Amino acid sequence: MENIGLSALTHVFNEAFADYELNLQFTEEGLSNKINVEDINLSASVAAFENEVPVGFILFGLDNINNRIVAWDGGTGVIPACRGRKLTRKMFDYALPRLQQSGVEKILLEVLKNNKGAYSIYEQIGFKTSRELYAYKGIVKSGTQPYRVEIMKNNGEGLLNLADWQPAWQQMSKRVNNHGDAVTVYCIKERNNIVAYACANSSTGRILQFAVAKEHRQRGMATALFNEISKGRELTIINVDAGDTGTNTFLQSIGMKIFNSQYEMEMAI
């Protein structure tokens, strides 16, 4: 797909997702930002054409994770006029051997829980559900804040070990770092050690990562971080591991509500 101009790619992306449950419409600048932040590799991505015009696509991100090259499906779409032709399956059939030749060992993707058609296609291709992910939004319940919240000067690298579960592709540290100055890292320290942190896009109110050290939980530290980021406005956080009871109980206790759920799926190749 590196030979497809940004204008054509933006057009086919928006047409393919025009009837999607969530708002996935981009300007050229916005789609370019998505490609850069999510490590989308256009040379590894594929498209289907009709009369030299792209009518379907799969955007693949690539990364080395735990010494394995992993691909992530950052968007699969087919324009409405060309659906029903098994183009998604054909594009995967075309892409898989090329990804293997590039050393890719596993592919990840997310699919909306109620998008049964897409889920069925991915199952037929060979993907299996690895976990369920929730998306939350809401205005945090305000309260007393007994902790001093600091803004870190670095990118929070290494703090993910405070968490109990691994983030999905878009919330992995490399992608967080790709946001550059758009992301602020907040922390709480005790005896000069960081015991709680949160990475957030300060302008949008999107939380990308947060965690509290086990021995410091149930003391209001995460609430203090969220209050500092929120300042009375709505926050969002997506791709929360549905199986982590502590995280989900906390988010619901401060007033955030689930607005979407999806399955993370993976396939070894």
pLDDT at 202: 81
- Tell me, yes or no, if the pTM score tops 0.85: yes
Q: Are residues 71 and 183 in the same domain?
A: no
- Of 126, 152, 173, the residue that ends a domain is 126
- Residue 224: inside a domain, yes or no? yes
Q: Are residues 52 and 93 in the same domain?
A: yes
- Residue 153: inside a domain, yes or no? yes
pLDDT per residue as tens digits for the range 71-91: 999 999 999 999 999 999 999
- Of 126, 156, 175, the residue that ends a domain is 126
Instruction: Using DSSP bridges, classify how beta strands 104-112 and 257-268 pair: parallel, antiparallel or unpaired.
Output: antiparallel
Q: Which phi and psi (to 5°) does residue 133 adopt?
A: -125, 140
Per the structure, the complete domain to which residue 151 belongs is given by 136-263
Q: Are residues 13 and 71 in the same domain?
A: yes
Nearest Cα neighbor of 180 from 201, 206, 159, 157 is 201
Q: Are residues 58 and 34 in the same domain?
A: yes
- Residue 80: inside a domain, yes or no? yes
- Residue 200: inside a domain, yes or no? yes
Q: Are residues 88 and 47 in the same domain?
A: yes
Per-residue pLDDT at 144 exceeds 80? no
> DSSP secondary structure string, 111-159?
EETT-HHHHHHHHHHT-EEEEEEEEEEEEPPP----S--EE-SS--TTG
Q: How many domains does the chain have?
A: 2
Per-residue pLDDT at 141 exceeds 90? no
- Residue 215: inside a domain, yes or no? yes
Q: Which residues of 219-239 are buried (b: 16+ CB within 10 A; e: fewer)?
A: bbbbbbbbbbbbeeeebbbbb
- Tell me the average pLDDT across 55-67: 97
- The CATH number of the domain holding residue 45 is 3.40.630.30
pLDDT at 154: 67
